[in-house]
Amino acid sequence: MPTASKPALQCDPEIFSRNFNRLPHEVQHALSDNPLFQLPALAKLAQQVAARENPHHSKGDIHVDQGKAISGKTDLREWAKGDIANLINQIESGQTWIILKHIEREPGYREVFENCICDILNLTGKKILEDIKWFEAILFITSPNRVTDYHIDRECSWLLQIQGDKDMHLFDRSDKDILPDEELENYWMVNNLSAVYKPQYESRALVYHLRPGIGVHSPVNTPHWLQNGNNVSVSLNINFQFHEHAWENLFKVNYYLRRTGLKPSPPGKYPFIDHIKSKFYTVFQDVRRSINRSPSVSEQNEARQHYHRIVETLASR
Ligand SMILES: [Fe+2]
């Protein structure tokens, strides 16, 4: 249960209500002293994640990137079998980036995750649950001086710095010079790497110096890149995905409209038109899924049903 005296995640309510899912802003957290996030515990966690028999992702819930030094040696299934704990113990001398996905499935980390989600819901209000598909906690463990390339994500997230420091460069997603609508439409329809870094606009970046106890909220599709400090970094990403009708479908409709030669209005400009577009695409998608016999929301696998249970638990608190 969340502690009433000391929230796991905090943010000035005024700053939060003005900027939530619109602009990046700083938050504070109380996880830096938690022994679950020290390297020996993380080595054990990585082994537990690697040993999952029903991971969320077909190639396992661990991703390892060793940079240019050992490129081409990162078969995810091999890492799932290999000695991931040693990799973490040697991370200070490597060029390694380790991602542990859905760590909320493991004992201890689930409580941390739920406390953070409860604190977020206290700020957003629980009504937002209607628009959320599922939650996730991801852990990033990175070697000194690693750079994470420019990209956008589909999640609404909070990156909480627990150990080490890093600079996070984020951009206003509504700045069309930086993120044209076409790039967003391609991102949702075609390719996860559709957002293109434009160095001429780097001066517009909102740069946050993350250190233990500090985090940043990143709205859905906010462009960003990161530079680690000269130390091992441990960061926890708490995030959720909106249902398709709340965001994703609007870009997909616009993708098709633009291909017919039209210039569709960006999401948010005309809420009524957004509503029509989303309804239309939801029906279109349901028909297509029934024809293709794709799994519907109600037929999702065991791992995803876990998240529906969490949402119900949180809603009842
Ligand atoms: Fe990201």
In this prediction, residue 163 carries a pLDDT of 97
* 162 plus 283 within the same structural domain: no
* 19 plus 114 within the same structural domain: yes
* 129 plus 258 within the same structural domain: no
Tell me the backbone φ, ψ of residue 243, rounded to 5 degrees. Answer: -60, 155
Cα–ligand 1 centroid distance for 6 (angstroms): 28
Cα–ligand 1 centroid distance for 167 (angstroms): 13
| Angle between helix 181-189 and helix 248-259 axes, rounded to 10 deg | 110
Cα–ligand 1 centroid distance for 295 (angstroms): 27
Which domain covers residue 156, as residue numbers? 9-243
Cα–ligand 1 centroid distance for 308 (angstroms): 24
* 196 plus 280 within the same structural domain: no
Tokens of 163: 């150990």
CATH of the domain at 52: 2.60.120.650
Domain count, the chain: 2
In this prediction, residue 78 carries a pLDDT of 57
* 159 plus 289 within the same structural domain: no
In this prediction, residue 143 carries a pLDDT of 94
In this prediction, residue 297 carries a pLDDT of 47
Cα–ligand 1 centroid distance for 309 (angstroms): 26
Residue where one domain finishes, among candidates 218, 243, 268: 243
Q: Is residue 189 part of a domain?
A: yes
* 17 plus 85 within the same structural domain: yes
Q: Is residue 109 part of a domain?
A: yes
In this prediction, residue 38 carries a pLDDT of 95
Q: Which residues contact 40 (CB under 8 A, 6 or more apart)?
A: none
Cα–ligand 1 centroid distance for 149 (angstroms): 9
In this prediction, residue 82 carries a pLDDT of 56
Q: Alpha-carbon distance 3 to 253, whole Å?
A: 43
Cα–ligand 1 centroid distance for 261 (angstroms): 32
Q: Is residue 253 part of a domain?
A: yes
Q: Is residue 1 part of a domain?
A: no
Q: Is residue 312 part of a domain?
A: no
* 134 plus 152 within the same structural domain: yes
Cα–ligand 1 centroid distance for 290 (angstroms): 33
Q: Which residues contact 260 (CB under 8 A, 6 or more apart)?
A: none
Cα–ligand 1 centroid distance for 110 (angstroms): 22
Q: Is residue 308 part of a domain?
A: no
* 144 plus 258 within the same structural domain: no
Cα–ligand 1 centroid distance for 119 (angstroms): 22
* 194 plus 295 within the same structural domain: no
CB 173 within 8 Å of CB 223: yes
* 265 plus 206 within the same structural domain: no
Residue where one domain finishes, among candidates 243, 261, 277: 243
Q: Which residues contact 239 (CB under 8 A, 6 or more apart)?
A: 135, 136, 137, 138, 153, 155, 156, 157, 158
Q: Alpha-carbon distance 131 to 24, whole Å?
A: 20
CA-based nearest residue to 296, from 280, 285, 310: 285
Residue where one domain finishes, among candidates 243, 261, 291: 243
CA-based nearest residue to 224, from 293, 294, 159: 159
Three-state secondary structure call for residue 78 = helix
Q: Is residue 60 part of a domain?
A: yes
Cα–ligand 1 centroid distance for 47 (angstroms): 24
Cα–ligand 1 centroid distance for 201 (angstroms): 19
In this prediction, residue 284 carries a pLDDT of 85
- Residue 263: count of CB within 10 angstroms of its CB: 9
| Angle between helix 109-124 and helix 302-315 axes, rounded to 10 deg | 50
Cα–ligand 1 centroid distance for 96 (angstroms): 16
Averages of pLDDT over each 10 residues, the chain, 317 residues: 70 96 97 96 92 85 76 51 74 90 94 93 91 92 95 97 98 97 96 96 98 98 97 97 88 94 91 90 83 56 67 72
Q: Is residue 22 part of a domain?
A: yes
Cα–ligand 1 centroid distance for 165 (angstroms): 16
Q: Alpha-carbon distance 311 to 134, whole Å?
A: 8
* 190 plus 226 within the same structural domain: yes
* 170 plus 41 within the same structural domain: yes
Cα–ligand 1 centroid distance for 160 (angstroms): 13
CB 161 within 8 Å of CB 218: no
Q: Alpha-carbon distance 289 to 302, whole Å?
A: 20
CA distance between the termini of the chain: 9
Which residues lie across from 10 on neighbouring strands?
A: 28
Q: Alpha-carbon distance 19 to 217, whole Å?
A: 9
Torsion of CA 42, 96, 221, 194, to 10 degrees: -150
Cα–ligand 1 centroid distance for 151 (angstroms): 6
Q: Alpha-carbon distance 84 to 46, whole Å?
A: 6
Cα–ligand 1 centroid distance for 237 (angstroms): 9
In this prediction, residue 316 carries a pLDDT of 72
